[in-house]
Amino acid sequence: MKSDELSAIIRKRRSVRVYKSGKVTEKQLNSILEAGRWAPSGANTQPWELVITRDRAKMRRVRQIYDNEWKRRKAEDPVHYKGLKKDYVGDVSILVLVLGDPRTMRVYLTTRQPGDREKLFQASIANAVEHMMLAAASMGLGTVWVSVREEVEPELRELFRVPQPLRLLWIVPIGHARNWPKAKPRRKIAAFTHREIYDSKKLRRDAEIRAWPKE
């Protein structure tokens, strides 16, 4: 693959939150998993574990779990809570639960501080997720990164029989996008790059720390 082809796939990837019916084949799934398999990880520990489901009943239950959490959060702060509903987790071909085995952090022999070990652990698993998302995008399939927060983790752990000590980190839906989202604005390279030393003139003001507009 040429660099411009890879760049096109990277730019094509979107966070898809509206899906239509359509199957993701086993061949496509295996290609996506193969991409994740080759992700870099700290000390080559490969700390990821994936639970894959096509079961519609389980997907409906996942949607219900997230919907209940959304309702609780909204009731706590009806005015300011702006969390997005996650109904789409019940509308896709496949759900991938992304787990991490924290015991692999023992192998980081030169990384002594717990915080540094945690960074390397989560970054390693995130690498695999990003690889899989790019592979899916190359096939025209949509994905989105769904956080597993403390409020929903116990029920998800029970539903999918995730044992201790594994950590349940994220869920990645994979399916056919009903509409492919438009690209959101990106900061210019010059705005976030610094040569030799940090350019303090580029440090964003507090008022500039915000979600980027959709258009």
What is the C-alpha to C-alpha distance for residues 69 and 65, in angstroms, rounded to an integer?
6
Which residue has 């700390």 as its token pair? 47
Q: Is 213 a domain residue?
A: no
Q: Is 199 a domain residue?
A: no
Mean pLDDT computed over 153-170: 98
Instruction: Place 215 in a pLDDT band, splitting at 50, 70 and 90.
Output: very low
**If you average pLDDT over every residue of the chain, what do you get?**
95
What is the C-alpha to C-alpha distance for residues 107 and 200, in angstroms, rounded to an integer?
37
Q: Is 204 a domain residue?
A: no
CB 127 within 8 A of CB 41: yes
Task: Report pLDDT digits (tens) over 54-84.
Answer: 999 999 999 999 999 999 999 999 999 989 9
Q: Is 137 a domain residue?
A: yes
Q: Is 210 a domain residue?
A: no
Based on the number of CB atoms within 10 Å of its own CB, is 64 exposed (0-12), middle (13-18) or buried (19 or more)? middle
Instruction: Place 211 in a pLDDT band, splitting at 50, 70 and 90.
Output: confident
Mean pLDDT computed over 116-121: 96
Domain that holds residue 80: 3-183
Query: Domain with 39 in it: what CATH number?
Result: 3.40.109.10
Q: Is 159 a domain residue?
A: yes
DSSP state of 208: G
Instruction: Place 123 in a pLDDT band, splitting at 50, 70 and 90.
Output: very high
- Count of domains forming the chain: 1
Q: Is 197 a domain residue?
A: no
Q: Is 209 a domain residue?
A: no
What is the C-alpha to C-alpha distance for residues 31 and 20, in angstroms, rounded to an integer?
21
